[in-house]
Amino acid sequence: MTTVFCFDLDDTLISEWDYVESGLRAAGAMVDLEAPADEPAGTWLVALWRRERARDAFQRLIRERGLEPAWLQRLKDAYRNHAPALEPRPGVAEILTALTARGARLSLLSDGYLDVQRRKWAALRLPGVFDPVVFTDERGTEFWKPHPWGFERVMRAHSGASRFVYVGDNPTKDFIAPNRLGWITVMVRHERNLHPAESPPGDASPTLTTDSLTELLQLC
C-alpha cells in the first residue's frame, strides 16, 4: 500500500513565527544602515512582535524613529524579499527520513506569495524527495486553499497511490479540499502557531489531531 504524505509548509514543517522574526530583523538591518539609533531596529521590532504580535510594527517604528512615511514601503519590501534564516521544526527531518524509509512518498502543498514561499523552501534543504512541490500561487491567489487544484495535482502525480495524507495546521482552510477528495487529514498543533488550533465542524475538521509530527508514524 503506497501512501503519499503531503505537507503544508508554514507552521507545519517550519515556524511561521521564526519567519516573521527573520523578516523583521532584515528590515531592521536596513534601517540601521541609514538611520541608526542606540537600539538596533531589528531588536526593537522583534521585541514588539513578541509582546503584542503587532501587525503595525513598521508604522510604529517609523513613528518611534521619526522616519519619513516613504520608509513604510521600503520596510515591507525588505521583509518580503529577504532571504530567510530558517530551520525545520524539531523532529521534522527525522520523521521525513522515517516515512521515506518505510516506503512513503513525500510532497508539499503551500499557500503564500510565490517568491516568498520559494525562498522559505530553498532555505530548508530537507531530507527526502518531495514530488511534486506545489505552491498554489503558481496559479494565483484564487487557487490558494481551500481550492482543490493543488491537491488534485498531487493526486495526478501519484495516480497509483492507495492513500493520501495531508498534514497542516490551519483548520480554516487546510483540510476542506483533501477531506472532500477522500484524504486522511492531520492537524499539527503547536503553542507558537499563528492560527488557532480549534477544529471547526464539517468538511473543515481534520481526521486526526496531534501535538507532534513524530506521532505520524503511529497515526497513519
Instruction: Express each pLDDT in 19-56 by its tens digit.
Output: 999 999 999 999 999 999 999 999 999 999 999 999 99
Measured between alpha carbons, how far is residue 159 from residues 120, 136, 155, 162, 165 in Å? 28, 20, 6, 8, 14
In CATH, the architecture of 3-15+87-219 is: 3-Layer(aba) Sandwich (3.40)
29/33 Cα distance (integer angstroms): 6
User: Taking the model in full, what pTM does it have?
Assistant: 0.91
**Predicted pLDDT of residue 200:** 67
Count Cβ atoms below 10 Å from residue 150 Cβ, excluding itself. 27
**pLDDT tens figures, 121-166:** 999 989 889 999 999 999 999 999 999 999 999 999 999 999 999 9
**Predicted pLDDT of residue 11:** 95
7/61 Cα distance (integer angstroms): 36
Measured between alpha carbons, how far is residue 10 from residues 62, 86, 102, 170, 186 in Å? 28, 11, 25, 9, 14
**Predicted pLDDT of residue 191:** 83
- Strands of 3-7's sheet in order across: 130-135, 105-110, 3-7, 163-168, 184-188, 208-210
Q: Is the pLDDT of residue 201 over 80?
A: no
Mean pLDDT over 162-173 rounds to 95
**pLDDT tens figures, 76-87:** 999 999 999 899
For residue 50, what is its C-alpha cell? 513578541
- Boundaries of every domain in the chain: 3-15+87-219, 17-81
> Following DSSP, what letter does each residue of 151-205 receive, concatenated?
HHHHHHHTTT-SEEEEEES-TTTSSHHHHHTT-EEEEEP-TT-SS-----SGGGS
